[in-house]
Every structure is written in C-alpha cells, then in structure tokens.
Amino acid sequence: MIFTYNPHSGEKLNEYAKHSSSDCEIFIRQANSAFNSWRRESFSSRAEKIIKAADLLIERKEELAMLMALEMGKPIRQGFAEVEKCAFVCRYYAENAEEHLKDKLVKTEASKSYVHYNPLGPVLAIMPWNFPLWQVFRFAAPALMAGNVGLLKHSSNTMGCALEIERIFLDAGIPESCFKSLIISGDQVSSIILNPGVAAVTLTGSTPVGAKVAAIAGTVIKKTVMELGGSDPYIILEDADIRHAAKVCAAGRLINSGQSCIAAKRFIVMDSVKTEFEQALLDCMSEYKMGNPTMESTDIGPQARKDIQEEHHEQVESSIKFGARLLLGGEIPDGNGFYYPATILTDVEPGMPVYDEETFGPVAAIIPAKTEEEAIAKANDTLFGLGAAVFSQNIERAERIAREEIFAGSCFVNDNVKSDPRLPFGGIKMSGYGRELSEEGIKEFVNAKTIVVR
C-alpha cells in the first residue's frame, strides 16, 4: 500500500493499493496501443481535448487547490494560482503546437528536403510533490499535443493529485491509456524505464535521483530530460532599489513555503548595502503568516514531510555553528504538523550548509561580497545552475551580468525566477539538462526526421 499524510496534522489521509509489475506491463502495452491511434489524430483534434482539460482545471480549481493543501501543505491561494497556470500551459500548447512542429524546409540539391517531427511513443514522467499539478501538466500538455502518450509516476505523498490529473484528461475526451497514473513505489521504477515499450523518460526531482534515473535509461539508450535541484543566487548590487529587492527576494524565497527548485536561496549582497538589505528582508519576511494551508490568510504552510522539516533545522544549526548569524526564525515550532518558520541567516560563507547545499525550505542565506566580480564568483560558486537574478537600477549593467556572467538556465533582472510556457525552462551543471516549455520543450520528445526527395 501507498499512504498519504496531512503535513498540517500528521494524520493519515488515504491509502492506495500499489500496481504490480504485471499491472504495469499491461498499462505499457495499452499505452503503446493508444499511441498508435493518438499520434494519427490531427493537431486540431488533440487541441480540442487539451483545451477541454484546461476548462476542467478551472472548473475544479477549488477542489484541486484543497487537495494540494491537504496532501503536501501548499497554501491554498498558491494552489489556485498553480491550477490557473496549468490551464495556461494547456491552452498555450493547444494553440501553438502545430506551428512549433511544422515541417522545416531546408534548401539542398534535392528536389525537396525538410525536417519532419514525429512523436516517440509512451513517455514516463517521474514527478515530485512540490508542484503536484504544474510539474505534470508542463510535461503532459506538450507531450500529448505532439502525439506522445504519458505514464506518470508521481510522488507517493501526492497520489491523490496524480489520479485527479488522470481523471481530468479522461473527462476531457482524451482516450483511455493515453495518460495513465502508475501507483508504484520507487523500487518499481527501474523495470519500467528498462521496458522496451517506454520510449523516453522525463524527471523533475533531486540531483541524486536524477543521476540514478539517467544512468538506468542510459543503459538502454533512452532519451531523458532532467530538471533537478537548484541553489539560485540573487545578486543585490550597491545601486539596487533595496526595498524592491527585499520584497522580491522574500517572495522568491517563501513561494510554496520555500519548497521550490527555483526559489531564491542565496542572496549575495554588496557590503555597502548589506545592513540595509538585512533589515529590509527581515521586515518583509516577518510579514508572512505561517499556518493552516487550507486558510486563505496563510502565506507559509507546513513542510511536506517531517524529514524535510528536520533537514532544514540541521542545515540552519550547522551553519550557525560554523559562524552564520541568525536574524529570524531558526526554531521548530511547538505543536502538530511539519512546520518551519521563515528564517534568515547572514554572514554566510563557503563551507556552511546553507551556502554549499540546496535549502529546500523557507531559509534565506545572505552572503557578503565586496565587489561585483566577487559577487559574480560567489553566484557561480555552486554545483547547480538552474536560475539566478540580478538587482540593479542600472538595467544595462544588470542585463550584461545576467547575459554574460551567470551560469544558469534562466537569469532574471529585478524579478524572481519563474517558469513561463512561452519560454524554455531548465538548467545546466547538476541542475540537469534538456528543456521544458516553449518550442524547445515540445521538441524534446519528438524525432527530428530528415526527409529528402529526389
């Protein structure tokens, strides 16, 4: 059995009977059969169903947001926004997939030569709990519109969300077996990746898990896309609007109660404005209300699991032991639930966990820098390369640093890192490879086939 628990109370929510290996074999065969029909449907036919899925998301927004709040502790207002973003990505690909995948004519000596894009088949998606709807729809919308079919291995603590996603696609008219949620544990994943009926794998999750999945897929030469961890640096230059920067940084650090790969995590601040930024960030983060995620007044919900809560505290305590200074939070509150408060550490240096490791919770690390060059070096001093931001009132200067100096998949100027269906999203270094969203995302799981006619 797979069990889900309410992170606000710690109580059991539900239990699900696991699919066996033979069940999964049947689902994979059914997915391949469904693929042979689905890939032949026109773009307009597939788009009609994906748009219907978007409509159903909006119709069911309140119940879906409540389910996320109960299963993984997402503040319900943020849950509403997540559902709306899922509808957005469905509509984006319904409207743009055909244009993204149209034949690309290439002039050669032949009478006709072009690139044609064919879907690959069943794509296994291994998805995390932190954005239990968005992570799935940002894979599923382009994959389905391209003519692929999907097999979802969701995180065990968001199994209810997984089944609701499957239900939405079915209710939207997408044929059965074009999208199937597998109720399985992690030890069953390897055999599914190795199954010849699975064409490709996409994973959003931690770097260690991504490395294992990529290694397994590599043994059978299967295409993979990996969106892994991040330790996003935000550089606050001496000419930044400090109050604006602090407001944006607080929002970026505390989104989803800090549980985001692209959350702002390391704030690299020039010495000349460090004290001012510390106070401004303290003022902003102190305003966020922690509490029951089902209440619309809540800004910070519980952490998804107790082990995650405990890991945050270990990172904070160890960093303080090595010389970091605590400005806010840093204590596990009394009472039920897996809560951790908004926390700020300053005077953070290399060798401290909050500098070296990914902090997947509401913990902000302020890192001093004397010069622009030092700030850039510290921003790049990480194994990760998912997102980054630069704050300065000199837009030309900030854009130059973002464009030329920061090693990351995305870099924003005077704003939080965020994903957008219209722009490619992904990382470099230990943050993964491949891209999701935009034209680049839909082309990850198609065969760019060369056609030459003499």
Residue type at position 186: G
Does 224 share its domain with 204?
yes
| 90 carries an active-site annotation | no
Does 365 share its domain with 254?
yes
Query: What local confidence, expressed as pLDDT, does residue 258 receive?
Result: 98
| 227 carries an active-site annotation | yes
Which of these is catalytic: 261, 284, 411, 436?
261
Residue 419 placed within a domain: no
Kindly report the three-state secondary structure assignment for every residue of 357-408. CCCCCCEEEEEEECCHHHHHHHHHCCCCCCEEEEECCCHHHHHHHHHHHCCC
Cα–Cα distance measured from residue 244 to residue 80, given in angstroms and rounded to the nearest whole number: 25
Does 186 share its domain with 144?
yes
Cα–Cα distance measured from residue 377 to residue 352, given in angstroms and rounded to the nearest whole number: 17
With cut-offs at 50, 70 and 90, classify the pLDDT of residue 301. Answer: very high
CATH number for position 236: 3.40.309.10
- Are 134 and 127 contacting, i.e. CB atoms less than 8 angstroms apart? no
Query: What local confidence, expressed as pLDDT, does residue 248 receive?
Result: 98
pLDDT digits 0-9 by tens, 22-67: 999 999 999 999 999 999 999 999 999 999 999 999 999 999 999 9
Does 237 share its domain with 214?
no
Does 121 share its domain with 143?
yes
Does 76 share its domain with 139?
yes
Residue 422 placed within a domain: no
Residue 423 placed within a domain: no
CATH number for position 117: 3.40.605.10
Residue 205 placed within a domain: yes
Give, for 453, the enclosing helix (H) or strand (E).
strand 446-453
Does 111 share its domain with 197?
yes
Does 278 share its domain with 290?
yes
Does 135 share its domain with 43?
yes
pLDDT digits 0-9 by tens, 313-357: 999 999 999 999 999 999 999 999 999 999 999 999 999 999 999
Beta pairing partners, 431: none
With cut-offs at 50, 70 and 90, classify the pLDDT of residue 422. Answer: very high
How far is C-alpha 421 from the chain's CA centre? 13
| Neighbour-count burial for 299-319, b at 16+ CB within 10 Å, e otherwise | bbbbbbbeebbebbbebbeeb
With cut-offs at 50, 70 and 90, classify the pLDDT of residue 84. Answer: very high
With cut-offs at 50, 70 and 90, classify the pLDDT of residue 390. Answer: very high
Which of these is catalytic: 227, 311, 436, 444?
227
Domain count, the chain: 2
Residue 420 placed within a domain: no
Tokens of 403: 């464009």
Q: Is 116 left (phi over 0), alpha (psi -120 to 50) or beta?
A: beta
Residue 251 placed within a domain: yes
Does 323 share its domain with 390?
yes
Percent of the chain whose predicted confidence (pLDDT) is above 90 = 100
Residue type at position 383: L
Does 396 share its domain with 434?
no
Query: What local confidence, expressed as pLDDT, does residue 426 receive?
Result: 98
pLDDT digits 0-9 by tens, 142-180: 999 999 999 999 999 999 999 999 999 999 999 999 999
Cα–Cα distance measured from residue 419 to residue 288, given in angstroms and rounded to the nearest whole number: 23
With cut-offs at 50, 70 and 90, classify the pLDDT of residue 366. Answer: very high
Residue 24 placed within a domain: yes
Owning domain of residue 150: 2-228+428-453
With cut-offs at 50, 70 and 90, classify the pLDDT of residue 83. Answer: very high
Q: Strand ranges (DSSP E) for 11-160?
A: 12-16, 104-105, 112-119, 122-126, 149-153
pLDDT mean over 225-244: 98
Residue 244 placed within a domain: yes
Does 32 share its domain with 102?
yes
